[in-house]
Amino acid sequence: MRNGEKIARSWLMYSESTDCVMCFCCCLFRDRDKITQLSGDGFNNWKNVAAHLKQHERSTEHITNMQTWHALLHKLQTNTAIDQVNQDLIAFEVNRWKEILKRLLAIVNHLAERNLAFRGHSEKLFESGNGNFLGQVELMAQFDPVMQDHLRQIQKKEISDSYFSKDIQNELISLVAKCTTDAVVERIKRAKYYAVIMDCTPDLSHKEQLSVVLRIVNCELSKGVSVHEHFVGFLQAHDTTGKGLCESFLGHLEKLDLDLSNCRGQSYDNGSNMQGKKQGVQKRVLELNSKALCVPCGSHTLNLVIGDAAKSSLTSISFVGLLQRLYTLFSSSVHRWTILREHVKDLSVKALSTTRWECRVEAVKAVRYQLPEILKALTALMEYAKEKRDAEVVSTAGSIYQEMKRWPFLVSTIVWYNVLFQINKASKILQSPKVSVETIRNEITAVTDFLQDFRECGFNSAKTDAREIAERIEVEMNWPEVHQRTKKKTV
C-alpha cells in the first residue's frame, strides 16, 4: 500500500507451469458468461499486473465470489456444510492415504538403511520373488489393520491405485534422498566451513563415479564439539581429467547451494588428476579459493609407500606371490578347502588385497601362527590329489610345500608380519573420521621409530622367532648361495 503496509492477497495464486497468476475464488465460483484472465487461463502481463490486480479486486464479481468463498470456508471449518457427510468421507479417505504413505515411507527407510534391493522378479503381491518392498508390505499387513484393509481393497479391485508400483517406489526413494540431502546441507550451512574428500571409482557398469564427502566440525551446547563426515552424492565422471572432475564438483556445490569460499580443506588420493600441482583438482580449487588447503590422504600415501617398498625387493614379490598361490590352491575346490579346515582350525588363509597392502597382514598372520598346520594340509592335499590322479594339483601343492619349508620364507613371514602389523594399526587410525591431528602425529612417529629400530635390530629378532618355527618343522636354517657372474676381461 502507499503507506508501506503489506496486505496479503489470500485469493491470489501463481502457476509455475503456465507462469501466470490467477484468482482462486473467481476460478471456483466464476460466472461462465463472464470469464476473465484471472478467472480463466491466467494473467502474465507483468508490466501491468499491479493495476490489473487492483481493478480486479474492486470488481463486483470478485467481491461476490470472495463472500461466497468465505461463507463456504466458515461452514467447512464449523462442520455445518450441506454436504458434511461427504466432507467427512473425504477427510477419512485423506487420513487413510496419509497412514498408508507413512507405512510405505517406513519400509523405504528400512530397506535403504540396510542397502537392500527393493524389487524382485515379480511385481505382484503374494507371489514368490516379488522383492523386499512387496514382501515387507505383506509382512506388515499380517499385523497392521490399515495395511491389511488396503491389501483387501486391492485384491477385491475396489481401488485402482495401490502405490506399490516401481515408479512410486522410485519416487519415494527420491523424496527420502532429497530430505536427507537437505538435512545434511542444512547442517553444513550451520557449521559454515567444510572440507571436501573425493575419489573416483569405477562401478559394475564400468562407469567412472566420483564420490563426494564433506567434512565439518559441529558445535552444539548439549553435545559439544564433534567432527562429522557426510556423503553428499555420486557424480558420474564423463571427463576424468583435473578440469573435468573440478567442473563436476563445482556444479554439484552449486546444486547443493554451498559456497566454495567456505571450503577450508581438500583431501584426495595421490592420482595426478586429483593431486596434480599444475592441472589437478586441488590446484584448480586453490586458484578459486586460496584457503582450501590440500592435505593428501595419509592412509593412501602410507599404502603407496609400503607397496613401492615391497615391489623393490624380489624376495618380497616372491613371498606375496606364494601366499596368493596358497590361497588359490585351496579355494579353487570345496574338497581342498575341507582338507584345509581339517588341519587349520583357528585362522584360515586369506586372499591378498590388490589395492591395500596393509590389509595383507591377515594373509600373513595365518601363515605366521599356523605354518606347521598348513604344511600338514598341503601334505594331505597331495595324497588326495594322487588318489584322484590330478597331476597339476600334486605339482602345485608340492612346489608350494617346498618353498614354505625354506629358511628365507620363514624369515620373510616373521619380518612382513611385524611390519604390516604396525602399519595396519596406523592405517586404521588414519582412516578414523574422529581422530585428532595430535593422535595421528604420535602414531606416525611411533611407526617411524619402529621401522628405524627394526632396520637395526629387527632382522635378528625375526631370525630368533623363525628359528623356533624351523625347529618344529625341521627346516635347515641356512641361506641360499648367491652366485655372482664373473666378467671376462677383454684384452
Query: Would you say residue 491 lies in a domain?
Result: no
Whether 138 is in a domain gets the answer yes
Does 157 fall in a domain?
yes
Query: pLDDT tens digits, residue range 52-83?
Result: 998 998 898 999 999 998 988 888 888 887 77
Q: Exposed/middle/buried for 227, CB within 10 Å: 0-12, 13-18, 19+?
A: middle
* 231, 264, 296 - which closes a domain: 296
Does residue 447 share a domain with residue 321? yes
Check residue 364 and give its pLDDT: 87
pTM (2 d.p.): 0.65
State whether 314 and 346 are in the same domain: yes
Domains held by the chain: number: 4
pLDDT at 483: 55
311 and 417 co-located in one domain: yes
- Residues 139-157 pLDDT 10s: 999 999 999 999 999 999 8
Per-residue pLDDT of 427-461, as tens digits, reads 888 888 778 888 888 988 998 899 888 888 888 88
What's the pLDDT tens digit per position in 169-200?
Answer: 999 999 999 999 999 999 999 999 999 999 88
Q: Are 277 and 253 contained in the same domain? A: yes
**Pick from 372, 344, 402: nearest CA to 473:** 372
pLDDT of the residue at 269: 81
Q: What is the pLDDT of residue 471?
A: 85
The angle at the Cα of 64, spanning 60 to 67, to the nearest 5 degrees, equals 140
The range of the structural domain enclosing residue 268 comes to: 192-296
Asked if the structure places residue 480 within a domain, the reply is no
Q: Per-residue pLDDT averaged across 33-39, rounded?
A: 82
Residues 380 and 435 in one domain: yes
Same domain, 309 and 346: yes
Same domain? 332 vs 434: yes
Same domain flag for 466 and 428: yes
- Whole-angstrom CA distances from 386 to 224, 305, 326, 375, 380 are 67, 43, 18, 17, 10
Whether residue 170 lies inside any domain: the answer is no
CA torsion sign for 119, 121, 122, 126 is negative
Check whether residue 327 and residue 435 sit in a common domain.
yes
- The last residue of one of the domains, among 296, 330, 347, is 296
Question: What is the structure's pLDDT at 481?
Answer: 63
Does a structural domain hold residue 486?
Answer: no
Q: Map residue 239 onto helix, strand or coil.
A: coil
Regarding whether 256 and 149 lie in a shared domain, the answer is no
Q: How far apart are CA 378 and CA 400, in angstroms?
A: 8
Do 248 and 219 meet the contact criterion of CB atoms below 8 Å apart? Answer: no
